[in-house]
Amino acid sequence: MTADDQTVCMIREHHRVFIHTPGLQMSSSRQSKRNLPGKHDLESMSVFRYELRKFLRVSEEIASAAGITTLQYQLLLHVRGFEGRNWATVGELAERLQAAPNGTAALVSRCESAGLVTRKPDAEDRRQVQVHLTPKGERCLLKLAAEHKAHYGSFGWVFGDTGE
């Protein structure tokens, strides 16, 4: 292992520790080795990533066949995905999509141009804009969500299935 390889490993290890356990300092290399994933962990992560990638590929195919992008589908899903209401703000959508607010606003504009969503001013806070599905957006979401649900398979936990 070269000095550069060691630096990259140390940075990755530090980054992982910082994200998962803020403030935790490693006091010995033995502690560091204890936190490394074992063979079973790596196998589990590999299977998870494989299943996730298969699902994402299928999701891309489903959305494409409907004439929209996967991001547009995800936006529609997240608009309706907030508990207790059928709308979302651009900021909330940006968080769910893990995207910048200005990029999310542009995505909302594209969906609005396609007739999938509409923007409405918030009655209580005029600074906020609510994003709502149009009837066309609702039909599109429900059709695509039904196709996606059929492909969740091992992701039954998403719907609260315990396998019992």
- Read off the pLDDT of residues 26-68 as tens digits, 9 standing for 90 and up: 455 555 677 899 999 999 999 989 988 988 999 999 999 999 9
- Read off the pLDDT of residues 87-128 as tens digits, 9 standing for 90 and up: 999 999 999 999 999 999 999 999 999 999 999 998 888 889
What per-residue confidence (pLDDT) applies to 127? Answer: 87
SS3 of 159, please? helix
Q: Residue-wise over 8-19: b if at least 16 C-beta within 10 A, else e?
A: eeeeeeeeebee
Q: What CATH number does the domain located at 44-159 have?
A: 1.10.10.10
What rounded mean pLDDT belongs to the chain? 81
DSSP 110-143: HHHHTTSEEEEE-SS-TT-EEEEE-HHHHHHHHH
